[in-house]
Amino acid sequence: MPTSSASTTDSARTTAAGGGVQSLERAFDLLERMADAGGEVGLSELSASSGLPLPTIHRLMRTLVACGYVRQQPNRRYALGPRLIRLGESASRLLGTWARPYLARLVEETGETANMALLDGDEVVYVAQVPSKHSMRMFTEVGRRVLPHSTGVGKALLASFPPEEVRALLARTGMPAATDRTITTPEDFLAALEEVRRQGYAVDDNEQEVGVRCLAVQVPDSPTPAAISISGPAGRVTESATEKFVPALRQVASELSEVLTSGGAQAT
């Protein structure tokens, strides 16, 4: 007996791993590929990178455009759409909510202000903070955006990037000096990233703000590049204190990684 077209379609849409809807998985995969591209993409480029046939990609993109998640440019290429902004802002707030208990424990263990930051395009954005209990403490407004070359979290985030991508980012942003200690050449910054990879943590030593020292580590396997840090007066965040603070940072980063990669409970 021939199979009905409706049955065939339903079967094709539910062949994804775990019995999910395959077309949804493909649509989100295309959105992530567009985000990785960082600009406009064509259907042929998406087909080449995803392995999907052009008719399938055209159908998915047409749906995403109709929903506002993708925008078709006058040159017929595609870019991420404005409706994603609200989702991203809500997700960032939720990420900050998840992170705060872990940052609070980091403050208890180190005594210094703890932050969480993401790489958003070419900038670092702070999404969560728990302040130190010291009367003299560091404060960074949640939502603040900074260039990565002068921050500990920026170094921690970019240490896993290929050198050519780091150079391209620095060419786009420039390397303005926030203090006389700021790294201002690509060669010196790449050397600093090599030191981050070697020692397993990043240091901002008076590079973003005079008198402030920061230690940062990347959150491993985070779905979007993320890092956590502690920051405080250089007189407290000393070389000897680093030996105590870094293991606490790594432990909290590992625990946050488990939270961010667990996926939560399955929908029923």
Residue boundaries of the structural domains of the chain = 18-81, 85-261
pTM: 0.69
pLDDT in tens, 122-157: 999 998 999 988 777 676 778 889 999 999 999 999
Contact status, residue 180 vs residue 150, Cβ threshold 8 Å? no
Is the per-residue pLDDT at 38 higher than 80? no
pLDDT in tens, 219-229: 998 878 899 99
Each as own residue / partner, the long-range contacts of residues 85-94 (CB below 8 Å, 24 or more positions apart, any chain) are: 92/118, 92/125, 92/127, 93/127
pLDDT in tens, 12-25: 334 444 556 888 88
How crowded is residue 189: how many other Cβ atoms within 10 Å of its Cβ? 23
- Please give the CATH number for the structural domain made up of 18-81: 1.10.10.10
Cα end-to-end distance, the chain, whole Å: 33
Is the per-residue pLDDT at 267 higher than 80? no
CATH superfamily of 85-261: GAF domain (3.30.450.40)
Contact status, residue 186 vs residue 235, Cβ threshold 8 Å? no
* Residue 139 confidence (pLDDT): 65
CA distance 57 to 60: 5
